[in-house]
Structure 1
């Protein structure tokens, strides 16, 4: 297996994510002033970086595509106020809007596979927990985790997240709103080679899940 480089920017490039059809990649680039903005590029490397949202004074991180690739949800960090909120942007027009601006940190948003909901982590209850809200914006909030949670990921009928060093799964239904089930533990990071101290508290993704929720990709820690 070989790797092909598709970008040549000098700034740090992070948080890349495939579009649903695999034709494009959204990602952040840190500019010379230290601010991270969002861009889109063809996944075969053709063309240049297409600005999705560029501005000074606010980082834009961790994009997540809607199922029809018309919208990208992301989280922000305002350099003046340190507010960390969830926003979304139209891919066609570049128009932006706020999705969640509750107290505390809102981060790592992931849109559901039907495009109706967004899962994210927030410390509004004094520790990071997993919440779900509707898309577009509403006041509805559903708490999914029960003892801390980071890094939500969707399958078609389950929501996955990390509770400390354990990967958790919560089934859900969407009839009449969002209704999460009781989370259950699937495995620990130590069991799959991620290390005994894997806590998934940083902003560096170390796992992903297939659409049907039956397969996982993890980053293993190897001794050399």
Structure 2
């Protein structure tokens, strides 16, 4: 998309002609509903890339956002791809947790009880722009951005039962995605937005289901009675990674979105909970009971390498992995100083 092209062309300042061509993309893309003119502008720029003598795209990386409890306070932190803490995002006395990145990595949605109830909040990845998204007295949790970044799917207990809802970020309108008597949890959009994975007990055990927004119908992913949790889509949308409980032992598995090809991923003797997947699908972000303590790790998909995340920094509540982004952009987010906040607005 246009934002991905923007990140890849971050060094355009060395070529005035390229800058002007790129500005055309920036002017058109965010303002065009159907994207036709934006797509044409992008294609024109791509066709001219060889003659513009642009620098090679820089290597990409990813970030982690963690909900970390230190000194009795649960706040959000940014960490790098090695698991090292880089920046504190929130400092409120309320509990800030269950973060999720927007598709362009510029925004983070999370759950906080700072208003008295568990509601959805969002802020920019540079710790500015804090805003409240829902204002309800009943719990709202487990947010996940849609691929176009225009809405957030989440779990609401407004009817007394956990159900899936969709929040339009422009209008603030909330839509129920299907009222049922079952418990529906942990929603996650596929990368292309053609399917929504979630966990439901509608068949008895907590199982992964896939909902089709076009037909508004859902299907169970696997036919077994083994409980499953925490679905994460692969970047190409072909696979679902998740935790399942085989004989009382939580392990990470992967299956095709059709339900075929089930297999274990990076098996271990510990109880593992999946939080995210790196953009290149080479690293799993998991919490594990290794050594009798629950800690957060980056584990290679082959299971041969493990990195302890935020070692000795506090207790991990929840976490998420960002989309791919240039290393220079990640460095800016880690080191930039946000402008002073104007009182009496909401404080991160």
Q: Sort the TM-score into its range (normalised by shorter chain).
A: 0.7 to 0.9
Higher helix share: 2
Give the one of 68, 79, 89 matched to 2:148: 68
User: Structure 2: how far apart are the matches of 1:134 and 1:212?
Assistant: 26
User: Structure 2: how far apart are the matches of 1:150 and 1:90?
Assistant: 26
Deviation at 1:32, TM superposition (A): 5.4
User: Structure 2: how far apart are the matches of 1:122 and 1:184?
Assistant: 21
Higher strand share: 1
User: Structure 1: how far apart are the matches of 2:290 and 2:260?
Assistant: 35
Unaligned runs of 5+ in 2: 1-83, 294-348
Give the one of 158, 161, 165 matched to 2:239: 158
CA 1:23–1:45 in structure 2 vs 1: closer, same or farther (change >3 Å)? Answer: same
Aligned 1:58-207 pairs, distance under 5 A: 58-78=138-158, 82-135=160-213, 138-145=215-222, 146=224, 147-155=226-234, 156=236, 157-164=238-245, 165-172=250-257, 179-190=258-269, 195=270, 198=271, 200=273, 206-207=274-275
8 Å contact kept, 1:169–1:183: yes
**Stretches of 4+ aligned residues off by more than 6 angstroms:** none
Q: TM-score, normalised by structure 1?
A: 0.81
Give the one of 266, 270, 285 matched to 1:217: 285
Classify the secondary structure of the residue corresponding to 2:157: strand
CA 1:119–1:52 in structure 2 vs 1: closer, same or farther (change >3 Å)? Answer: same
1:16 maps to 99
User: Structure 1: how far apart are the matches of 2:192 and 2:115?
Assistant: 37
CA 1:211–1:14 in structure 2 vs 1: closer, same or farther (change >3 Å)? Answer: same
User: Structure 1: how far apart are the matches of 2:104 and 2:272?
Assistant: 32
Deviation at 1:148, TM superposition (A): 2.3
Unaligned runs of 5+ in 1: 173-178, 201-205
CA 1:148–1:84 in structure 2 vs 1: closer, same or farther (change >3 Å)? Answer: same
User: Structure 1: how far apart are the matches of 2:254 and 2:288?
Assistant: 20
Give the one of 60, 74, 89 matched to 1:6: 89
CA deviations 1:163-189 (Å, max 9, x no partner) are 1122221113xxxxxx33242222434
Classify the secondary structure of the residue corresponding to 1:11: coil
CA 1:2–1:119 in structure 2 vs 1: closer, same or farther (change >3 Å)? Answer: closer
Measured on the aligned residues, the alpha-carbon RMSD in Å equals 2.1
Deviation at 1:130, TM superposition (A): 0.2
8 Å contact kept, 2:272–2:286: no
CA deviations 1:94-138 (Å, max 9, x no partner) are 1110113222210000010001111000011111000000236x4
2:123 maps to 41
8 Å contact kept, 1:18–1:25: yes
8 Å contact kept, 1:19–1:26: yes
Q: Rg: which structure is higher?
A: 2
User: Structure 1: how far apart are the matches of 2:279 and 2:177?
Assistant: 24
User: Structure 2: how far apart are the matches of 1:105 and 1:187?
Assistant: 29
1:176 maps to none
> Across the two proteins, how many residue pairs are aligned to each other?
201
